[in-house]
Structure 1
Amino acid sequence: MFRTYLIAAIPALSPFASPSVYATQDKQDIERIVTTSSRFAVNDDIKALSITSVNQELLEQIGATHIEKALQSVAGANIQHGNGQEYLPALRSPVFTGSGACGSILTLEDGIALRAAGFCNVNELFEAHSEMAQRIEVLKGPGSVLYGSNAVHGVINVISQDPTLGSGYSAIDVGSYGYKRAKLQAGKDAGSYGIGANISMTRDSGYREDESVKQEKMTLRHRYDGQSWSVQNGIAYSNLNQDTAGYIEGFESYKDPELAKQNLNPGAFRDNRALRAWSKLNWHYSNATDIAMTAYARDQEMTFLKHFLPGTPIEQNAQHGAGINALVQHQLTPLWRLQLGLDSEFTQGSMTQYQENPTQGSAFLQATIPQGKHYDYTVNASQLAPFIALQYRQASWQVDLGARYEHIRYDYETHLQAGRTKEDGSECAMGGCRYARPPSAKTEFTDLSPKFALSYQFNENLVTYANVAKGYRAPQTSELYQLQRAQQVADLESETLDSIELGVKGAYSDLRFTLSGYVMEKDNVIYRNSDFFNVSQGQSKHRGLELELDYRLSDTLSLQTAIANALHTYEHEQLLGEQNIQGNIMDTAPRLITNTRLNWRASDSVLLSLQWHSMSKYFTDAENQHEYEGHDLLSVRGQWQVSPQLLATLRIENLTDEAYAERADYTSFSGDRYFPGRPRTALFTLRYEWD
């Protein structure tokens, strides 16, 4: 039994994929299925990939008002919540900022990318139905041939609940500062087929001035199971209408309760609509061969006020496209397994940035940022990526070899005159307009990423592994075609990352743990230099240790912890002011992040949990001259199973009412600035289930 438990558990880098939130829950009841590693639902025993799975029990206990809270238990992840549904992501990395930096982490829902390669948005996870997720799988590092451009630092895959299995529930959340959420799952299971829907609606008036969130999400599912094959069809829709509160300014202004409520950008907003339709075929062709194929289509539109830019222009972007992911898995011999796949996609994207009113501020800003359109372009993008993986498995050894080849082509067309002119083609004073438009062009990127992994199972209790991989991302369209000042063309290369990871996974009695260490070197990092040119001349280095542990202290007590200790540094020469930042610690890259939960099963029907989330100090500028002091937050949660159908949950976040910043930043224009964290908040949930 113990060997079965270990083999089922070890594919994840977390405490064997899904640490239980119930101290008395039997180990074999813990959900350990993962799909991100192979596109098949498997318990792959000694695969050398770092995957953490946040299971449904924990997600329901947390009742996350934002996906950031759901990912706090993942060592190496650091999602910094902005305002409303906005955030900035990090995964074995500093927090990514800038128009194209979001391309370093690939975000999926049910294995399908939320955005097309080249068209990422830093907030795109708000389109996934994480409020009703079955689990959230996080693959850390570039270790899989299944994922190419954008999966540089890893993959976040939201796996939605399957309502076609027949059970259902309704739930209502009510919390501080006008927070409300309603959820409904309903479906019918007719044996060989099923239909169902997940629906959620969120309303949040917020604690800051002139902020609010209105969001609706719906997932429709259909399932048909044949004798040797199955088909699942789905439609996912999300709609967001948000009034946004921006940064507050001034050193440690987040500690002032009145300043923390301020909104210096009362007119800021973000409206987003996203629709995805998909069909998945899994075919057990023979005892040796399995086939997985997914066809999908996307339709997305967003409008938002760029309140963080002078002149506060409005951006409208959209993307419409379709793709197919195909994979064949064949057992060549009892020892050898082959995977062959092809991913293909076509997308038409568009972007318009325009300013309704004249620019306010200095004479220079008024002269160089004109009223009217700044950008107006479309891009037809195609992606083609074949890949191959070969696995050798004998006794306690497993060897994985693979490679992915990817070709991305952008056909860009500007609908305004190329150059740095006004919309009517006239010149700006004081040296020219701020925004520059490159001439229409076709651009191609080709990348090859090899992978090698080795794992060894010492005994029933201990596995160790090594993983060597290369990741990459093609430049985003925003980096290529949204230029500034005198730059006429952005001659950019794909960012690349070389990764080496070593790890050990163990299960002894009531203790389960995973310890891993990694070193990653990144080249051709894209950034905007002091001349406001987009260049791919950066280099960085990333190294860290991660521990995820699940310890059953007694029949009623359990402890889970996730610890990430990392160092991220600039390795290229770049002058900011008169300082060369080479060797400096990257900004917004805390050295230590810890998340620890103590769970107490007080009775068969009552569960209490105390969480401590700690973030160390970090620099807020690349020169390492300014910093945020870090914070420690306590939260308490309690669940009461009132009846077999009715569950009540009470949560108190920021129990000690600490003044802290969700995000801290520094710019030479505004100085220190922050997104203040919420004061002590309470959230109450009632959930009713039926068969």
Structure 2
Amino acid sequence: MIRLTQLLLAFVLLSLNVAHLHAQTPRASDDLTDIEVISVTASKRLQALNDVSASVSVIDRASIERIEAQHINQVLSRVAGTWISRGNGQEHLTAIRSPVLTGAGGCGAFFMALDGISLRGPGFCNANQLFDANSEQAGRIEVLKGPASTLYGTNAVHGAINIITQDAFDQNESTLGLQVGAYDFARLSTQLGWQNNTQALRLLSHIEQENGYQTNSGYDQQKATVIYQQRSDTWDVKSVLDVSNLHQETAGFIRGFESYKDEEFRRINPNPEAFRDAKSLRFYTRLTRDFNNSTVSFTPYVRWNEMTFLQHFLPWQALEENSHSSLGLQVQYDTQFAGAQWISGIDIDATFANLNETQAEDFSPNIPAGDHYDYDVDATALAAFTQAQWQWDAFALKLGGRLERTQYDYDNLLEGNSACAPSVAVCRFTRPPDQRISFSAFSPSATLEYRVSEHIFSYLKYSKGFRAPEATELFRLQNNQFTTDFEEVDIDAFELGMRVDYQTHSLHASIYDMHKNNVIIRDTQRQNIAGGETAHQGFELEYMWHISERLRASSNLTWQKHTYQNDIAISNESIKGNRVDTSPNQMYGARVNWQATDTLEAELAWQYLSDYYLDPENTAEYEGHSLLDLSINVAINKKVSAKISVFNLTDEDYAERADFAFGGYRYFVGQPRRAFVSVNWII
């Protein structure tokens, strides 16, 4: 059993060892030092990563371009404490210091953003929403682990993923890229840039298609980002337009114990009729002005999302159509006052949403054909936050708080409160009456920082995260449930962390202990109830070592334990103390990067996922897996480079995600060994 005291002892021993290493290691040559990595997500201002008193990991642009991922999980698997569980096509589920969570509670537990603006409206998330953003051409991707509600508000419960767009002034090259590979995968990408002393324009786009490993499982995807920036003596301006379009033929779960090991069966798509169409648009303009000791910024934005998909994961396969559009404003003011560095702001978001669910054919009397739901929800989220930091020699104290109010105005567009005939006693789909409901929450945080030396930085942090219930948890009810009585889901988190940046070594280690309350679940009667409690504890380590000028090694290690703390009604037996399903105890990753010559670079990457339970009773289990990937990049000349990537080099049979539902095992299939070749030109 992982206990906080044991983790604390391990952390102290690690600190002493690192301090000893600092005292003994001879000085290395300066040419081995990387360019300083910066982060904005943890503090809402640019800050050197080694000064950040939080668990933030940064995947920089060079790494994103080196990986050339076909799926976002190939990038974020390099972050300790994070698992983006790959579904079929571009689908995914997320875990950050958590189990893999599903449904509205899954996406609602994570704040996912483009340049600090939520990808979807508060209360209207989707579990697969990372496919909305152009992460493939991002300037960097930042992952903040643990609650971040003080600065970001609702949904920042277990963590945040912030996709940072490129700085148009920093990028002057125009490039063209072509990548082809397994299962008829093809991607054409362009990056075009123009700038002068005061203005810069960046146009990023890519189109791709794949026919899929399983039958009838291909997808087409297009994304584009337009970045315009202007500098002046008064205001700096950055405007970003980000759009995406996805059309996917989805392969569903294959069923049967360890069916993913059957070479022929795993290529079958049991749901050839399944599909997902998703479109999105985000636009914002950020105006920033510096004064003597202060900075103010205004960021008005709009967003629009539309998605249609067949619910292939349910036996009756209803069709869902959802959409929402939003208007928002972020105002932020940074200043120095009363001996402290202050950051304060207000966030305003107004969203107008609709959800419609229909079924083509009758499944049973209580699961009939026709309209199940059709409703509009107008939502507003208003928040004010502040955070201050005081410095005393090697110590610093940071205190913050956020007050937020979310309101939903719900309008049922269908007649009656049930989708079934009057003779049906218990209908699967019930519709609550029109209503207006609101939620308010306060999220404090406190951090004590201590700089041990020039190269060693430590911190102790408390933070509280929260989320208002998602609209679907409130209004998409089942089995004769017509009302809900929910409070905000909240989490209390303690974290002890240390960063080391010395010579050829870079390390971040942290231990955490979190307790989540008022968890909303769907019980054994198919009704939405609150009152669940879960505990989350773990130790994370990220380490990089520049072995020589041409050889670099890095690793990310995660030990974690996620448990049920009470007998919530998702099982007919006691589950208190059991592991939360789909939460591996260990997740490891390691990479070796070798710059063999000035024109030849190779990287070998290893990823390990331990076994995990598939049900709350902890009776069904997946054995885990280990994957090995290889990439080789060759610079043909100053303008042309070529690359080959081989994934699952050892051709292991594995499941991207294992599950146990409707009385049996089911799996999203992991793909066998496959290769991709790309060519990139500077134009």
**Common fold: TM-score over 0.5:** yes
Q: Which residue, 517, 531, 545 being the options, matches 1:523?
A: 517
CA displacement at 1:24 relative to structure 2: 11
Q: Which residue, 542, 551, 559 being the options, matches 1:557?
A: 551
Equivalence map 1:413-432=2 (5 Å): 413-422=411-420, 426-427=421-422, 429=424, 431-432=425-426
Separation in structure 2 between the aligned mates of residue 384 and residue 94 of structure 1, nearest angstrom: 30
Q: Which residue, 193, 196, 206 being the options, matches 1:190?
A: 196
Q: Provide the residue aligned with 1:682 in structure 2.
A: 675
**Residue 325 in 1 paired to residue 318 in 2?**
no
Letter aligned with residue 73 of structure 1: R
Q: Which residue, 208, 214, 222 being the options, matches 1:208?
A: 214
Q: Does the aligned pair in 2 maintain the 1:343–1:384 contact within 8 Å?
A: yes
Separation in structure 2 between the aligned mates of residue 604 and residue 240 of structure 1, nearest angstrom: 39
Q: Does the aligned pair in 2 maintain the 1:475–1:493 contact within 8 Å?
A: yes
**Residue 627 in 1 paired to residue 621 in 2?**
yes
Q: Provide the residue aligned with 2:242 in structure 1.
A: 236
Q: Which residue, 387, 390, 393 being the options, matches 1:389?
A: 387
Separation in structure 2 between the aligned mates of residue 54 and residue 656 of structure 1, nearest angstrom: 26
CA displacement at 1:289 relative to structure 2: 0.5
Q: Provide the residue aligned with 2:448 in structure 1.
A: 454
Q: Provide the residue aligned with 2:4 in structure 1.
A: none
**Residue 49 in 1 paired to residue 54 in 2?**
yes
CA displacement at 1:50 relative to structure 2: 1.2
Letter aligned with residue 598 of structure 2: D
Corresponding residue SS for 1:657: coil
CA displacement at 1:520 relative to structure 2: 0.2
Separation in structure 2 between the aligned mates of residue 496 and residue 300 of structure 1, nearest angstrom: 27
Q: Provide the residue aligned with 1:439 in structure 2.
A: 433
CA displacement at 1:311 relative to structure 2: 2.0
**Residue 264 in 1 paired to residue 270 in 2?**
yes
Q: Provide the residue aligned with 1:278 in structure 2.
A: 284
CA displacement at 1:648 relative to structure 2: 1.4
CA-to-aligned-CA distance 1:215-235 (integer Å, 9 cap, x gap): 001111211101142001121
Identity %: 38
Q: Does the aligned pair in 2 maintain the 1:300–1:318 contact within 8 Å?
A: yes
Letter aligned with residue 678 of structure 1: Q
Q: Label 1:143 to 1:101 Cα distance change in 2 as closer, same or farther (>3 A).
A: closer
Gaps of 5+ in 1: 1-22, 360-365
Q: Does the aligned pair in 2 maintain the 1:61–1:649 contact within 8 Å?
A: no
Greater shift after overlay, 488-497 or 514-523?
488-497
Equivalence map 1:21-60=2 (5 Å): 26=31, 28-43=33-48, 46-60=51-65
Q: Does the aligned pair in 2 maintain the 1:143–1:467 contact within 8 Å?
A: no
Q: Does the aligned pair in 2 maintain the 1:418–1:438 contact within 8 Å?
A: no
Separation in structure 2 between the aligned mates of residue 42 and residue 575 of structure 1, nearest angstrom: 45
Q: Which residue, 56, 64, 81 being the options, matches 2:86?
A: 81
CA-to-aligned-CA distance 1:445-481 (integer Å, 9 cap, x gap): 0000000001110111211101101000000001001
Q: Label 1:72 to 1:180 Cα distance change in 2 as closer, same or farther (>3 A).
A: same
CA-to-aligned-CA distance 1:149-186 (integer Å, 9 cap, x gap): 00001110111224464321111111111111111011
CA displacement at 1:408 relative to structure 2: 0.2
Q: Label 1:143 to 1:25 Cα distance change in 2 as closer, same or farther (>3 A).
A: farther
Separation in structure 1 between the aligned mates of residue 362 and residue 29 of structure 2, nearest angstrom: 64
Equivalence map 1:317-396=2 (5 Å): 317-332=322-337, 335-359=339-363, 366-396=364-394
Corresponding residue SS for 2:450: strand
CA-to-aligned-CA distance 1:420-439 (integer Å, 9 cap, x gap): 233xxx4253x232111100
Q: Does the aligned pair in 2 maintain the 1:301–1:318 contact within 8 Å?
A: yes
Alignment length (residue pairs): 655
Q: Provide the residue aligned with 2:317 in structure 1.
A: 312
CA displacement at 1:294 relative to structure 2: 1.0
Greater shift after overlay, 453-462 or 658-667?
453-462
Q: Which residue, 219, 229, 233 being the options, matches 1:227?
A: 233
CA displacement at 1:603 relative to structure 2: 0.8
Greater shift after overlay, 129-138 or 96-105?
96-105
CA displacement at 1:300 relative to structure 2: 1.1
Separation in structure 1 between the aligned mates of residue 303 and residue 267 of structure 2, nearest angstrom: 37
Separation in structure 2 between the aligned mates of residue 501 and residue 662 of structure 1, nearest angstrom: 30
Separation in structure 2 between the aligned mates of residue 233 and residue 613 of structure 1, nearest angstrom: 38
Separation in structure 1 between the aligned mates of residue 30 and residue 466 of structure 2, nearest angstrom: 41
Q: Does the aligned pair in 1 maintain the 2:93–2:106 contact within 8 Å?
A: no
Separation in structure 2 between the aligned mates of residue 97 and residue 71 of structure 1, nearest angstrom: 18
Q: Provide the residue aligned with 2:581 in structure 1.
A: 587
Q: Provide the residue aligned with 1:504 in structure 2.
A: 498
Separation in structure 1 between the aligned mates of residue 239 and residue 413 of structure 2, nearest angstrom: 38
Q: Provide the residue aligned with 1:91 in structure 2.
A: 96
Q: Label 1:578 to 1:274 Cα distance change in 2 as closer, same or farther (>3 A).
A: closer
Q: Does the aligned pair in 1 maintain the 2:33–2:504 contact within 8 Å?
A: no
Letter aligned with residue 102 of structure 2: T
Q: Label 1:32 to 1:342 Cα distance change in 2 as closer, same or farther (>3 A).
A: same
Separation in structure 2 between the aligned mates of residue 25 and residue 311 of structure 1, nearest angstrom: 63
Separation in structure 1 between the aligned mates of residue 50 and residue 182 of structure 2, nearest angstrom: 44
Separation in structure 2 between the aligned mates of residue 119 and residue 428 of structure 1, nearest angstrom: 34
Q: Provide the residue aligned with 2:107 in structure 1.
A: 102
Q: Provide the residue aligned with 1:403 in structure 2.
A: 401
Corresponding residue SS for 1:679: coil
Q: Label 1:444 to 1:578 Cα distance change in 2 as closer, same or farther (>3 A).
A: closer
CA displacement at 1:29 relative to structure 2: 4.3
Letter aligned with residue 172 of structure 1: L
CA displacement at 1:598 relative to structure 2: 1.0
Q: Label 1:631 to 1:213 Cα distance change in 2 as closer, same or farther (>3 A).
A: same
Gaps of 5+ in 2: 1-27
Q: Provide the residue aligned with 2:527 in structure 1.
A: 533
Separation in structure 2 between the aligned mates of residue 663 and residue 264 of structure 1, nearest angstrom: 16
Q: Provide the residue aligned with 2:143 in structure 1.
A: 138
Q: Provide the residue aligned with 2:173 in structure 1.
A: 167
Q: Label 1:581 to 1:187 Cα distance change in 2 as closer, same or farther (>3 A).
A: same
CA-to-aligned-CA distance 1:50-89 (integer Å, 9 cap, x gap): 1100111111111110001100110000110000010110
Q: Which residue, 519, 539, 544 being the options, matches 1:545?
A: 539
Q: Label 1:578 to 1:354 Cα distance change in 2 as closer, same or farther (>3 A).
A: closer
Q: Provide the residue aligned with 2:599 in structure 1.
A: 605
Q: Provide the residue aligned with 2:508 in structure 1.
A: 514
Letter aligned with residue 260 of structure 2: Y
**Residue 64 in 1 paired to residue 69 in 2?**
yes
Name the Cα RMSD after superposition: 1.6
Q: Does the aligned pair in 2 maintain the 1:421–1:432 contact within 8 Å?
A: no
CA displacement at 1:657 relative to structure 2: 0.5
CA-to-aligned-CA distance 1:345-400 (integer Å, 9 cap, x gap): 100010000012232xxxxxx11111110000000000000001111123211110
Q: Provide the residue aligned with 1:665 in structure 2.
A: 659
CA-to-aligned-CA distance 1:563-593 (integer Å, 9 cap, x gap): 0100000001135554211110000000000
Q: Which residue, 453, 459, 463 being the options, matches 1:465?
A: 459
Separation in structure 2 between the aligned mates of residue 143 and residue 441 of structure 1, nearest angstrom: 30
TM-score (norm 2): 0.94
Corresponding residue SS for 2:136: helix
Separation in structure 1 between the aligned mates of residue 677 and residue 164 of structure 2, nearest angstrom: 25
Q: Does the aligned pair in 1 maintain the 2:36–2:48 contact within 8 Å?
A: no
Q: Provide the residue aligned with 1:303 in structure 2.
A: 308
TM-score (norm 1): 0.93
Corresponding residue SS for 2:65: helix
Q: Does the aligned pair in 2 maintain the 1:177–1:204 contact within 8 Å?
A: yes
Letter aligned with residue 449 of structure 1: S
Letter aligned with residue 141 of structure 1: G
CA displacement at 1:508 relative to structure 2: 3.0
Corresponding residue SS for 2:474: helix
Greater shift after overlay, 482-491 or 493-502?
482-491
